[in-house]
Amino acid sequence: MSGLWGGRFSAANDPLMARFNASLPFDWRLWDADIAGSIAWAAAICRAGLLTAAERDAIVAGLAALREELAADVPGTSERAWHVTATDEDIHSYIERRLTERIGPVAGKLHTGRSRNDQIATDVRLWLKWQIAGRGLTRVDTDKKNEKRKNPRSSASIRGPLDSALAGLIRAAVDRAEAEIDVLMPGYTHVQPAQPVRWSHWLLSHAWAWQRDRERLADLLVRVDVSPLGAGALAGCPFAIDRAALAADLGFATVSQNSLDAVSDRDFVAEFLFWAALTGVHLSRWAEDLIFWSSREFGFVTLADAYSTGSSLMPQKKNPDALELLRGKSGRLVGGLTGLLVMLKGLPSSYDKDLQEDKEPLFDAVDTLALALPVAQGVLETLTIHPDRMAAALGDELLATDLADALVRAGVPFRQAHHLVGQVVRRSEETGCALRALPLADLQAIDPRFTADVAAIWDFERSVEQRAAVGGTARASVAAQIAALRRALGD
């Protein structure tokens, strides 16, 4: 029978039910946040006169000792120090049992005024905040009332592991964009060759999406960074708890304003999972380009052996598995978001056990991206480009727009110019003569406003340099993007 709620029960749970109900197999990851929350809570209920200083010190010392013991041996690496028993339902009951074994019945005072409903909401928020912002300024194990409390958001330099991984990937793209700015390639729409672009311009197009992912992560932190502790089971705390002080001890920026909402709200998980799904989609689209371009038919890039695999049957194969897995994992990230939203959709107010289902997709999203982002960075840093193959794919037809633009500069309305160049392209196809090789007389037969100047059009470098407006593919525009992204990276 569970140590936390067995009083009104006369029979134990069926072992199947115990297994079904248990969240410790996955919520053990919250151990550190749970202990941090309990240390802060002990300080808060002591300030409210519910614990003597000696009781508080015993609880805090016991929790700190337990934290040290568990830190040495988290289940992700080994389970030796955890001594999990069959009745440990979740991380809260587990920590409370271990604390009781360590310090005796005084541990039973820790849950005064607190419910697992506000506790779990606090743990998940704190854990997620650490993933997003790092643990930098969180102050959890002191009760120095006079110490000036720090606002964790006062330092813009706080960066968590996910942001660092994104920044690493962006930096890889920017470094390559700078080094390889001379390389031209076809730009595509509908996977059809469209206009020439700089390879760097393509690299940076993805870097901008990843930069938005960084910004989005910082934006959503505001809604993660709220302390629900003190909301109780659903109705609030009957004791004189200073919730603001409690929140500050844990490093939260602010406190929740409605206890029903506090134990019910998983918007912050949904937002984070949307962020993760979109980041996954960005990785997937990037991967898709490179998968195509690493094919023999394109041959624009070769992936390093370090990020490719072979076939067990066909000796010649070198497969872009890293990129395919990046593309594939985006599906699972989207699935995590979808699953959470569907779980939340029909829930009645406040806490329902369904909410326990928020954690596995959350942990999975963090784990997936914690590995996927550095893999993407590795792929990008180690691939080889083949500028000759890219150049060979630059056909004259990619300059058809430039030919129309030449007529526009001579005063021809663009619609008409577009139509006339369409006729030129048809003529080239019919005669099998490359666009640039068509005699001027042929062009002038289509329209006399084609002049000898059009000979200058057939230059890919010139074409990209025409696109010098902000955001274009001209060297100066690409250089400006590099500078802007470096600023955003703080380089």
Active site residues: 190, 311
Residue 117 binding ligand ARG, by CB under 6 A: yes
To ligand ARG, the closest distance from the beta carbon of 312 in angstroms equals: 42
Mask 23-42, x = binds ligand ARG (CB under 6 A)? x---x---------------
Residue 355 binding ligand ARG, by CB under 6 A: yes
Q: Which residues pair with 301 in a beta bridge?
A: 385
Q: Which is nearer to ligand ARG, 115 or 308 (CB)?
A: 115
Q: At 183, which helix (H) or strand (E)?
A: none
To ligand ARG, the closest distance from the beta carbon of 152 in angstroms equals: 25
DSSP for 349-388, written as a single string: SS--GGGGGGHHHHHHHHHHHHHHHHHHHHHHHH-EE-HH
- E strands, 142-249, are 184-189, 192-198, 226-227
Residue 266 DSSP class: -
Mask 84-103, x = binds ligand ARG (CB under 6 A)? ------x-------------
C-alpha distance from residue 38 to each of 122, 299, 399, 478 (Å): 10, 58, 67, 51
Q: How far apart are CA 225 and CA 245, in angstroms?
A: 14
Q: Which is nearer to ligand ARG, 12 or 456 (CB)?
A: 12
Tell me which residue of 31, 42, 3 sits closest to 95, measured CA to CA.
31
To ligand ARG, the closest distance from the beta carbon of 29 in angstroms equals: 12
Residue 120 binding ligand ARG, by CB under 6 A: yes
Asked if 485 contacts 174 with a C-beta cutoff of 8 angstroms, the reply is yes
Q: Which is nearer to ligand ARG, 23 or 377 (CB)?
A: 23
To ligand ARG, the closest distance from the beta carbon of 358 in angstroms equals: 7
Q: Which is nearer to ligand ARG, 345 or 415 (CB)?
A: 345
The interface with ligand ARG within residues 396-455 (CB under 6 A) comprises none
To ligand ARG, the closest distance from the beta carbon of 112 in angstroms equals: 17
Q: How far apart are CA 361 and CA 354, in angstroms?
A: 13
To ligand ARG, the closest distance from the beta carbon of 124 in angstroms equals: 8
Asked if 301 contacts 246 with a C-beta cutoff of 8 angstroms, the reply is no
To ligand ARG, the closest distance from the beta carbon of 116 in angstroms equals: 4
Asked if 160 contacts 133 with a C-beta cutoff of 8 angstroms, the reply is yes
Which range, of 351-359, 386-394, 428-436, 474-482, touches ligand ARG by CB under 6 A? 351-359
Q: Which residues pair with 255 in a beta bridge?
A: 227
Q: Which is nearer to ligand ARG, 361 or 472 (CB)?
A: 361
To ligand ARG, the closest distance from the beta carbon of 95 in angstroms equals: 12
> Residue from 97, 98, 116, 214 that binds ligand ARG (CB under 6 A)?
116
Residue 2 binding ligand ARG, by CB under 6 A: no
SS percent in the chain: helix, strand, coil, step 5 = 65, 5, 30
Asked if 410 contacts 447 with a C-beta cutoff of 8 angstroms, the reply is no
> At which residue do the structure tokens 């704190």 appear?
126
Which range, of 116-124, 184-192, 200-208, 212-220, touches ligand ARG by CB under 6 A? 116-124
Asked if 136 contacts 369 with a C-beta cutoff of 8 angstroms, the reply is no
> Residue from 87, 112, 309, 356 that binds ligand ARG (CB under 6 A)?
356
Mask 296-335, x = binds ligand ARG (CB under 6 A)? ----------------------------------------
Q: Which is nearer to ligand ARG, 367 or 491 (CB)?
A: 367
Q: Which is nearer to ligand ARG, 95 or 174 (CB)?
A: 95
Asked if 35 contacts 107 with a C-beta cutoff of 8 angstroms, the reply is no
Tell me which residue of 32, 13, 24, 33 sits closest to 85, measured CA to CA.
24
Which range, of 74-82, 114-122, 175-183, 482-490, touches ligand ARG by CB under 6 A? 114-122
**Phi and psi at residue 122, in whole multiples of 5°?**
-65, -45
Q: Which is nearer to ligand ARG, 127 or 286 (CB)?
A: 127
Torsion of CA 407, 412, 418, 421, to 10 degrees: -40
Give the number of residues in contact with ligand ARG, rule: CB under 6 A: 10
Contacts with 241 (C-beta within 8 Å, 6 or more apart), sequence order? 44, 45, 47, 48, 113, 230
DSSP 3-state assignment of 192? strand
Residue 369 binding ligand ARG, by CB under 6 A: no
Residue 56 binding ligand ARG, by CB under 6 A: no
- Where along the sequence are the contacts to ligand ARG (CB under 6 A)? 23, 27, 90, 116-117, 120, 351, 353, 355-356
